[in-house]
Structure 1
């Protein structure tokens, strides 16, 4: 049994933000922190007070996390970025919203006394005395304190207050991981109602000391317990009255906390086997459970359930059969084939990056002015053409058409060359869809429908949205500027084209359609798909030429035989799957002493399920390997260690078992967390994973973080191996997918029972299946029995696990 917590985060938009620049505007972006640890940075939206981000993330966390905070910042090129405001959601707040928090939240001012983090290690005991008992407080150490000084650290000390008396520890200079090991005693009067307050402060020579957090204890409870020792989370000072703030604007968020208790694999086998059997039987299955699940799924969670089901059947090798079943069910209906979209999202993202990535990169790098609408041409934005002569409107339009034709041609060429690069499950899905549509519409006048069905998924729901919003498909780190956005928009411009007679409505995904070059090619240049605006006409020759290319591509895509697919899969299976790759900077040490003279060198890194390797270039034959099995931890490094907040360390053992550390510098917080997540996921099952580590470096004769002189010291901070970001290329987690399906079915169990009652005959229509014998031969009854068994398994697991109660001594004062 394993407890897993995750946060689904969607940062939608902001409104009415204050102007931070002299231009009367701002350049806002968001930083997301979990327990004061930055894990996400959105793209910057330039020159606006009402930014739209629309970015989605899923973060896996330990169940002990406390809060998630959203900081809205204003990016500045020449000075430190300004903090506009923040929204903080505690774990308790999120737990009160089972369907998630969704809506607008007012930005609050960032109060330094509330920006606390970290924990303090204390030992408290009541010591009997000859005259009176004494309260003994041992201040041992602290970890992960907030850095308050420019050097990226603090100079912490601790004040202990009780009954009007105050005692202080010594000051530890330049450390967020101080160790004091100092003890204080106070005379304790029986029945005293005073609280013991332990405060951490950052000492400053010139300005006032900075507050780092506090812990307050109830002395009466301590008297009853006699002794208590442990790590206590530092809390903000909320005793001061909050002063009135100006209007800082609002942030629209969607945040959902999901806590799942995942049982051992064997518990889910009956559910998985039952669903797999139904898929294998197809539409002639006795109970048709898949249609019932689809029917009872609400619109708001339809896509989530579709993705989870697809992942479940991908793990069982039945994705093609599942999608084929859905295609058969959807043909003739007016609803859309929603799992096909999920298939592309789950299995086709790497393929999308390979096909579309170079075209998107070229558009971003060229930054050409592109406009086809004469009413929107701004000649002054284009520049001059030869001998400093301003370009005419006609020249701008012709040059723009030529640029778009070039991009479209490059995309079509990349597609036609990508048949064998297309994932096997995606090819099989398209082959089944093509065959089913052709069987359903066999007449000659509908000969284009199978091609349109395939391209409606490939172009309309995958390639065109990625062209319009490359940041949301992980093709770019930042949103496009205004000029680049217009180029992308003309390649994939949204138009409401209404219903089309050429194809069934389920193919078209009711609502907006792309009246653009890419989608017109995808629609096989049917009359209803041609450009409505006359100014789009210059692209039509390229569209007509692309139709033949795309038809040839689809023909080859759906004609690949099963044997050829198996041969290709065997070839790929001999290679270690690539998890992540890209350039990073590795720390190189020169001289005899460790880290005496250092520099970072740019190398190309590749992470597979076997090793982390790095070389000078991606094609270099000579590379250095760190075996995956030897990795013991992947953690962040303190900013002060290398004057950078984007450095991580990979702690591993070499071939003879000696501990080693590689320091890697990333370009931004997102890249840092993506690499940390990837390394943690692939090494999560390693033996010998560390539970603690040093966030600093061993420089000279001591650790820079806690100042300990023993290089082999176990570490002053706890590792965070369970904090990861979900990525599109993550390996499947079969038990979690089965648990999520079970959780969904529990939510619709009442509806399923009503359906079962309607299908059963006789006087026992209200009865519940009581065992395998009664459910035998009735798939829906079997499903209800499986749900009942899983419910009992969860109850047994909860009854057998110890509950983690909060300390009775800790009493926060507000």
Structure 2
């Protein structure tokens, strides 16, 4: 739900699984949400899956159409508006994992043996034959596949070695969208998101809260930004720019200090990958001591930190996109971080002279960044690397975890009992527990790191669905329907910290439980209060749900749980499409 906007932007990606696409249709409906009363239907767009099989994808603005079964409150005739969508149909018939073992074994053998003179690598052929449009997807599949095999560090090392064997300049290393660059970028997004949130989160939150005017370019200072700043004085353009410089320098200093302190908190596997890269570049360019630092910052600053600063919503740092003023501040801060990452602030000043006042702060930041990288790659963490590598392919690897509020209801079961006993106060309507989802169960504890006080086996989870906002006054609540030990069906209502967090939990739960033979086909999006359901007013508490479940709707992005069989299938399908090129 996008509130307080007649021109909403969702920027969300969803994946729907179709067993038999045949005559199916995809219907996208737009509703006007109301806190009180029924939501109003605004229009719909319908896609024929059969048509998508021919076209592959459809993209653009699509006109909204009425639905006779859903009358609009506003009966005026005319255009209902349009919706911008991209719809893509992809054939992903995933065979049993053993069918892809020859391909997986070949790739693993190449990665383990490393780069050998005269040997043609399948990875090299993938890099050379894959188009720029597909390279990101192929890189993500390779990274996820080798994470599942416990060989992602070796994969990245091979890609670094192959990339450095090509003719290249030390100042432009890994700036192109090669398979090595895209793979490292995907690797950081898969393994480094908690670290990114810890480093950037406080500064991003402060910028959104303060909404200060930050501008250094005289050409972008608007007349309304100058003028009376008090009762008796006028603020000049120069003062606006100087004030903006002070704000930006404060944000940059805070952020660089956070980065400088973060070396011990960086995941061991990420540190190991950067250590490999650092030493590979040092060997390739022994006379350019500067190059090994730039190689690290080309990924850490230019492809990880800066994009997250510019668009924090896409990295789940914020629930909504920034307004114009905050967006400009974020853009300037991201540009400053890029200049620090380039380690040549004079080059940035030559392109944009108005950055000159920031030069002392940038030079200080470069010194901080070099010191940080030296500490980041200078400590061996062999034991931690081994633990992470082993855990990546382990069935009990953590897929999702975090603190969730458990809303008290009239239900029973171990989860509700644990929530009731987690605090001495019984007046609160919700209790906070730490949940951990693995390939075996959804467990819960009183706090992070504490011993679990209970668990729900994945085989007993029947559905994971969103709850109507009206039920608890929040759009961040999900329900987990499960079967308790006594054979009784129970529902736990869990509130997440944000809508993106809610979507992550739903996606993770559906991916590991969607194939359960006992999954429900219908559920109640409301809650049972008094003597009826809030959604459909049905009085039978155990009656059939009034809305269909959405087991096949999952997030399609880099934070999904690993599924090596799916990634192997995607690589196999991609290689099939390259048969003509590879010949």
The equivalent of 2:145 in structure 1 is 312
Out of 255-264 and 665-674, give the one that drifted further.
665-674
Question: Do 1:29 and 1:72's aligned partners in 2 also have CA atoms closer than 8 Å?
Answer: no
What is the rounded CA distance, in whole Å, between the counterparts of 2:257 and 2:187 in structure 1? 24
State how 1:131-530 maps to structure 2 within 5 Å: 245-246=78-79, 251-284=83-116, 286-331=119-164, 332-333=166-167, 336=178, 337-378=181-222, 380-381=224-225, 389-443=233-287, 446-492=288-334, 516-525=335-344, 527-530=346-349
Aligned residue among 28, 31, 38 for 2:7: 28
Aligned ranges for residues 70-85 of structure 1 at < 5 Å? 70=28
* Residue 726 of structure 1 pairs with residue 545 of structure 2: no
Q: Distance in 2 between matches of 1:673 and 1:363?
A: 25
Shift of 1:747: 0.5
The equivalences for 1:581-596 within 5 A come to: 581=402, 584=405, 586-588=407-409
**Structure 2 residue corresponding to 1:538, chosen from 329, 341, 357:** 357
Q: CA RMSD in A?
A: 4.1
* SS at 1:111 equivalent: coil
Q: Does 1:744 align with 2:565?
A: no
Q: Is the Cα contact below 8 Å between 1:674 and 1:725 reproduced in 2? A: yes
Match of 1:627 in 2: 456
- Give the match for residue 611 of structure 1: 442
Superposition deviation, residue 745 in structure 1: 0.7
Which whole-Å deviations, capped at 9, do the CAs of 1:349-379 have from their partners, x for residues lacking one?
2222221122111111110111112333346
In structure 1, distance between residues paired with 2:33 and 2:515: 40
Give the equivalent residue in structure 1 for 2:58.
101
TM-score normalised to structure 1 length: 0.59
Q: Distance in 1 between matches of 2:325 and 2:36?
A: 24
SS of equivalent to 2:338: helix
Aligned counterparts of 2:139 and 2:332: Cα–Cα separation in 1: 31
Which of 479, 482, 487 is the equivalent residue of 1:649?
A: 479
1:105-124 matches, cutoff 5 A? 105-108=61-64, 110-113=65-68, 115=70
Looking at secondary structure, tell me which structure has more strand per residue.
1
Distance 1:739 1:619, change over 3 A: closer
Maintained 8 Å contact 1:520/1:530? no
The 1:473–1:316 alpha-carbon spacing in structure 2 relative to 1, beyond 3 Å, is: same
C-alpha contact (below 8 Å) 1:580/1:678 kept by paired residues: no
CA deviation after TM superposition for structure 1 residue 309, in Å: 1.4
Cα deviation digits, residues 453-475 of structure 1 (max 9, x gap)? 11011111121111111122222
Structure 1 residues 564, 545: closer, same or farther in 2, change over 3 A? farther
Cα separation, 1, equivalents of 2:301 and 2:492 = 43
For residues 516 and 252 of structure 2, what CA distance do their matches in structure 1 show?
47
Corresponding residue for 1:549?
368
Q: 1:430 to 1:90 in 2, by over 3 A?
A: same
Retained in 2: the 8 A contact 1:28–1:74? no
DSSP 3-state at the match of 2:91? strand
Q: Hey, what's the Cα distance between the residues in 2 that align with 1:625 and 1:272? A: 37
C-alpha distance in structure 1 between counterparts of 2:143 and 2:304, whole Å: 17
Q: 1:579 aligns with which of 382, 400, 405?
A: 400
Deviation by residue 1:227-283 (Cα, 9 ceiling, x = unmatched): xxxxxxxxxxxxxxxx9945x665553321123221112111111001111122222
More helix by share: 2
Equivalents in 1 of 2:83, 2:344: separation in Å?
42
* Helix, strand or coil at the partner of 1:635: strand
Structure 1: unaligned runs, 5 residues or longer: 1-20, 31-41, 43-54, 116-147, 151-206, 209-242, 493-515, 591-598, 755-814
